[in-house]
Amino acid sequence: MQIRLAEADDIQQLIQMRWDFTIEHDESKKSTSFQEFETECRSFLERALLNQQWFIWIAEEQGKILSHIYIECIHKVPRPGRITYPFAYMTNVYTLPEYRQKGIGSKLLHVIHDWTKENKYEFVLVWPSDEAIEFYKRSGYEVLTEPLIYYPK
């Protein structure tokens, strides 16, 4: 198994995995147009792979992506008297169902932790599903209270 950053050749698999991930958690989305989703997702992924805001980490074996984690780099506003480091927003954490409970996600997370330390991220933020909380706690994540949120209408 190889763990690496995603490349353009991975886009089609990433699109399908995002679709499958969504359907797995909300079957009502099956009626959504895959073609429209594919167009939007491809555009996002092509842009994401070209800039330094998104980092898509994958675990693959023989060309097949088994698991992925998306990291968005969030830059903070500088503050006098200290060096300001970015934080990482982790999202779209997914492992193919037939590869779960085999340690792949944990290995991928370990590589990301090393990478965030090397790149001086201040912290990693994730909003996990209820089922995933224990997975993150085993890797050193702390449960915090919910942030405030505003929905513009």
Q: Compute, in degrees rounded to 10, the torsion defined by CA atoms 39, 44, 50, 56.
A: -120
d(CA 27, CA 11): 23
Residue 115 domain boundaries: 2-138
- The owner of tokens 């779960």 is 100
pTM given for the model: 0.91
Name the domain count of the chain: 1
Per-residue tens of pLDDT for the chain, all 153 residues: 999 999 999 999 999 999 999 998 888 888 889 999 999 999 999 999 999 899 999 999 999 999 999 999 999 999 999 999 999 999 999 999 999 999 999 999 999 999 999 999 999 999 998 889 999 999 999 988 877 777 888
In a domain, 151, yes or no: no
Q: What is the CATH number of the domain that holds 67?
A: 3.40.630.30
Angle, CA 53 vertex, CA 47 and CA 55 arms, to 5°:
85
